[in-house]
Amino acid sequence: MSRFPAVISTVKLVANLGNMVKLPEGLATSIIAFLALSIGLKAKNTMISGIGAVILVMLLAQ
């Protein structure tokens, strides 16, 4: 027996889990923006923190 069917079932499981867990619109973007802002501040990198801040402001301005 090959392991190929197990790989297919694992991929299907991950795809089904992605379909079952639906985030509200904009939540994933806001999480990414907040992470970019906090990582940029922690690393003292103004470009990354600026990108995160701009994305958060754009989401709040909608």
Question: Residues 6-44: pLDDT tens digits?
Answer: 444 444 544 554 555 566 777 888 888 999 999 999 999
Domain containing 53: what range?
24-62
Identify whether 50 is part of a domain.
yes
Identify whether 17 is part of a domain.
no
Q: In the prediction, which pLDDT does 60 show?
A: 87
Provide the H-helix boundaries in 1-62. 4-20, 27-42, 46-60
Q: In the prediction, which pLDDT does 26 show?
A: 76
What is the distance between the alpha carbons of residues 11 and 45, in angstroms, rounded to a whole number?
Answer: 37
Q: In the prediction, which pLDDT does 3 show?
A: 52
Indicate if the pLDDT at residue 55 is higher than 70: yes
Identify whether 62 is part of a domain.
yes
Identify whether 1 is part of a domain.
no
Q: How many structural domains does the chain have?
A: 1
Identify whether 3 is part of a domain.
no
Identify whether 14 is part of a domain.
no
Identify whether 54 is part of a domain.
yes
User: Looking at per-residue confidence, does 26 or 55 come out higher?
Assistant: 55
